[in-house]
Structure 1
Amino acid sequence: MAGNSEKETKMPMTDTERLEFCQKLDQELDDFINSLERKRYTEGWPEDRWEEEMDKHPFFMKNNPDGDVMSPLAEGLAKLKYDPEENTPLELANNYKEDGNFNFKHKNYRLAILGYTEGIKVKCNDPEINASLYNNRAASHWHLKNYRSSLYDSEKALLFKPEHTKARLRAAKAACEVAKYNICIQHCEKLLSQNNDKEVVELLSLAKKKRLIQERDERKEKRKTSKKEEERDEIIKTIIERGIRVSNCEDEDDIDLSKLEPCLPDSQDCMVHLENGILKWPILLMYPEYQMTDVVKACPENVPLLNQLEQLFPAPWDTNKQYNVWTVNVYFEGYDKMPHVINPKKNLGDLLVTKYFELKAGTPAFFILPRGSEIESRFLEVYL
């Protein structure tokens, strides 16, 4: 039989040996760290873009980046929060409300509106949640100064929760901003029936004062409108009495001011009007040779057309000095589609009742051509 093997025994380290061993390990660790490539850590979220980076994180992102395929993790998280198959309508509405609240807190009011709108679209049956969604969306609209939308949403919130004080106060404020003072007063009175709040008392007083001013202005406008209507009726009556033929009118009963509104350049604001029983017309003077026009905005019917021409000649564009009151012919195109020469010494009112004359677009129009010139011949040849 073999003899007993000697058992190798290990002596414990002395304090000196232990110290030397630790120093050796520290040195080896330092050498290893120093041998690594020194590289700046860039994987964190920079302070100036932390919100942007956070939106890219699958847990926090709300929408898939345009054109990118959603990762399985992001898709799973989105399903957990927004998939109608994974959530009840109440849970979905709450999730969208939270999303809206997050953006509202960070003053991203347009994004908040999108969140609340999605929650409203869910149409859950919880009146409390629906009231909150509409009220919060109203608050977002208020911050964006969309006062009509804020009023609409506040009143929708009140349909779900009539005792919603914040919604009613915002409805009152928004109504005041859009000059719906009766609605503002109604909401204020309901609020004051529950609590005598100083802010509401002041808002009610302001709305009542503004309503009085609004009613006064409406009365003024009504009187003004009534006066304008009387003036328009008088103009039409005078045109009929003068026997002026108006284009596109079957008879005198068919004449209205819409057919007398000028639609020519520079004459839209000078429609025919009455002054002391005298009709004053905008007239259009055309110079085919130069493709130029003049508009006289208020030519009295009892003044010769010649007077207007004398004020316009000599014209700055007439380099050949061919245009003056004694060397030009004046034409109008009649309803027979033919040119008719007129005597400019006659009053405008007499010219308007000349045979074949027809008033178009509320503006008497005349062609001015040098007498006996080549351009006059070419002008007349067009009608042959």
Structure 2
Amino acid sequence: MGQTITVELSSAKKQKPASPALLGFGKYFTDHMFIMNYDQGEGWHHPRIVPYQPILLDPAAKVFHYGQTVFEGMKVYQTLDQRILMFRPAKNIQRLNASNDRLSIPPLNEELVLEALRQLVLIDRDWIPSEQGNSLYIRPFIIATQNTLGVAPSENYQFMIILSPVGSYYEEGINPVSIYVEDQFVRAVPGGMGTAKAGGNYAAGLKAQQLASVKGYSQVLWLDGVHRKYIEEVGSMNVFFKIGNTVLTPALNGSILDGVTRDSVLQLLRHWNIPVQERLISIDELIDAFGSGELVEAFGTGTAAVISPIGELCFQGKKLTLQEGKTGPLAAQVYDVITGIQRGSIPDPFGWAKEL
């Protein structure tokens, strides 16, 4: 690993929410954070855990002007016997470095990042919610800090990790959400940044999300940016469809995020010998499958929500209601198993849950 992480403990403790029901998602933050700097010629240096605090940036910092920033999301859980488990952290850090590569950000030492995560979580372990459905959300992120307006990769960066105790990502919880199929705006195209977990990808989706919300929908389902017909992602999630006895999910095509939960679901379905296909899926195929009664379930997958059943899809005024608007059996089974592994309440044949 090479570098020693210094620790400065906070002299004041933050006030925790009065009830777990008030947590929401990303509203509260723990007492400490991790920071590490990058300077060209020196590399990543000065890894440290410090009291949670504002950051000071020059108005010319490149992150403000050219969007050179990436992030990750993962969760920590407390088991009934007080162990602390983190779900597939190494894969998240590998993906962070893949995002770094796409945005010309210097790679991180993955072993050092994992050690920083371990130390930070253990210092703030009393913030980990113990209630079913709640967890401690981890947000690592990198920003370009060089204070010059030249259009080129930054020569200076800050890498930070902050922690937030969270409840369910959606107010609906595991109950089905309604999805609006977006056919006007485009989030990403192959060759762009769709495969990176970059802030700009999410900014590109806000307008469509706003309009869908006005119409009463929780999220948008993106179509491809070239043909406007092939399914890509659901807002902040990957997406799965059960047609007949086969589960389909869009293939990674250069504009879809390689989701950690997506990969976990694929491994789980194959472990159960359920037929799975990763391929192009058109919106017309879904409509036809719905009409014939073969489209029986759909659900999104992501770190924040884990599994989000889809109760209704709306495309150009046509509504496709699935499972009578209720959670389907496959989505429920996948959710129960993944969350059971995350919480250490059921066996983990894949070695996904890492004890700190």
**TM-score normalised by the shorter chain: which range applies?**
under 0.3
The structure carrying a bigger helix percent of its residues is: 1
Higher relative contact order (CA 8 A, sep 6+): 2
